[in-house]
Structure 1
Amino acid sequence: MNSRAPAGQVLSREPWAGAVILDAHAHVGPYHRFFVADPSGEAMVRVMDRCGVAGCLVSSLLAVELDADSGNEETAALCAAHPDRFAGYLVINPWQDPAGQLARWRDHPSFVGIKLHPDLHEYPLDGPRYAAVWEYAERTARPVLVHTWAGSPFDDLSHVDRVATDHPRAWILAGHSGVLPSSFDRAIDVARRNPRVLLELCGSHMHGRAIAEMVRAVGAGQVVYGSDFPFIDLRMSLGRVMFARLSEEDRAAVLGGTMLRVLSRPGPTGVPLLDRIGTSGTLAQ
């Protein structure tokens, strides 16, 4: 066990009361590929409270899989019901009117970023149907969470590298950091070349040594905690960060500080993209 990790609270099953935890990769709704006992917002909040997670950035699984418009409505409804705990990613399906979705939701207060899943939509990340997304991301400073999978013809890390090179003002979260352990070094290389690429940590193959290596290689300012909650329990992914060999300063950045910094940058109106989460480990009132 890493003696430098915050083991006391974890082992005594007390909610984390340290730096703000912001889950940068969560979802809303059921998912046909995984069983989720209760995907409701209320159930998610109960788990978040038990763990001390201040907030989650969510995208709709309905939007990811079938119906972007209806799914984005689902995300907006969850954020409206729990405005101090959830903020949304707008899912853009390249086959379902990307420009229209952006036009409809771009000024909605629930959404602070965009979610892309090129693998499920079977369309390459660097394809022209995503052009409106990258123009929007560079213009507004809103981050784009991209599913990545090593070796995919649609969202391999090489696709992230090309998009980041072509759109250097866009903030890109490399979801899962390529998923497979064999991809983690490549993810680090992409992040080194592109300072606005952030390595996101959720995935069944992620582990504490890989997290520590990512932070050592690119700095905690390019590494963010995410879980895939609720169909992957956030407690597992949170434990990986809690017990990774990190300084407390770096751990705080990974858990939420890095993402809060990105979301505190002024948007197109000069107002920060997200101001709902406090800076002392408690929710803003």
Structure 2
Amino acid sequence: MNSRAPAGSVLSREPWSGAPILDAHAHLGPYNRFFVADPSGEAMLRVMDRCGVSGAIVSSMLAVELDTEAGNAETAALCEAHPSRFAGYVVINPWQDPEAELERWSGHQSFVGVKLHPDLHEYPLDGLRYRPVWEFAERTGRPVLTHTWAGSQFDDLSHVDRVATDHPRARILAGHSGVAPSSFGRAIELARRHPGVLLELCGSHNHGRAIAEMVRAVGAAQVVFGSDFPFIDLRMSLGRVLFAELGPADREAVLGGTMAGVLAGGHSGAALLDRLEKDPAHWQP
């Protein structure tokens, strides 16, 4: 078996013809810390189509940075405009009434989970203000994607460890798996201790060897593809998984199967999830 089987089709510019690809970590809108040429949903769709990515789960940077209510409404509008391509994370800022924001959007069919960014909000992941999020996650089965950064006082992998210990029924996506290559071993040990923790792959320092090691260590059922698109080029993030030393079944699980299973467990994301279930190969627009 050639574990680099996708390489030939990628190099010859053939479209992806495997199982649907679902990006578990994408964003919408500009970011004040660096330039993004075109962070609109329409621009994202063009790149997704070219790469063969069936769907993406997005969170608004307006919600992350300034205004959760207005930013989450922005996410809802994109998902409503393209319900079979996008689903959303409700961004929760611990300083902007988490309970009210969860209540406002929890019944909206576009939202499939919660997005946290403790570093930007300068509040620890295991702090009391996030308790409504973890109670919501355990009650509904919906995943929580949290930013992680090795050594952070707000979202180091040790914070994820404590939350997973206190809330064992929560499905937690450890965004960036700690970011730094030196943290990947800790991320693996974290996932081994907590079956509800999934390692999400995006980040400028990740690479194919690390991805393959994560899958070997904890299994593809605890590793999910995310790109951080449009901040990190979707093509680069996707290429890391396509060219990693993975078997076909593991590659397809990481690229979308695992995350689709997480969403199904939370009974959410109806339009996007329905399309992923019905179309065994990449949907062509």
TM-score category, normalised to shorter length = over 0.9
Corresponding residue of 1:275: 274
Matched, 1:149 2:149: yes
Check conservation: 2:202, 2:225, Cα contact below 8 A: yes
Shift of 1:36: 1.3
Is 1:18 paired with 2:18?
yes
Q: Secondary structure at the match of 2:199?
A: strand
Q: Is the 8 A contact 1:264 1:275 kept in 2?
A: no
Measured in 2, the distance between the counterparts of 1:246 and 1:277 equals 22
Does residue 229 (structure 1) correspond to residue 224 (structure 2)? The answer is: no
**Amino acid aligned to 2:142:** R
**CA shift for structure 1 position 135:** 0.4
1:1-285 equivalence runs, <5 A: 4-267=4-267, 274-278=273-277, 279-283=279-283
Under a length normalisation based on structure 1, what TM-score does the superposition of the two structures give?
A: 0.95
Q: Give the CA RMSD over aligned residues.
A: 1.7
Please report the TM-score for the alignment, with normalisation by the length of structure 2.
0.95
Letter in 1 for 2:19: A
Offset from partner CA, 1:219-263 (integer Å, 9 cap, x none): 000000000001111110100000000000000000000000111
Q: Distance in 1 between matches of 2:284 and 2:139?
A: 28
Conserved 8 A contact 2:90-2:115: yes
| Partners of 1:112 and 1:273 within 8 A in 2 | no
2-structure distance, mates of 1:101, 1:266:
19
Unaligned runs of 5+ in 1: none
Q: Is the 8 A contact 2:3 2:247 kept in 1?
A: no
Alpha-carbon distance in 2 for matches of 1:64, 1:230: 15
SS of the aligned residue for 1:34 comes to coil
**1:3 CA displacement:** 5.9
Distance 1:28 1:117 in 2: 15
Check the 8 A contact 1:265/1:273 in 2, yes or no. Answer: no
Deviations 1:35-79 (A, max 9, x none): 111111111111000000000000001111111111000100010
**Separation of aligned partners in 1, 2:91 and 2:266:** 22
The structural deviation recorded for 1:13 is: 1.7
Question: 1:257-280: per-residue Cα shift (whole Å, max 9, x none)?
Answer: 000011112539xx8994342351
Q: 1:5 Cα deviation (Å)?
A: 3.3
Matched pairs, number: 282
Q: 1:151 to 1:46 in 2, by over 3 A?
A: same
Question: Which blocks of at least 5 consecutive residues in structure 2 are unaligned?
Answer: none
Would you say the 8 A contact 2:228–2:234 is kept in 1? yes
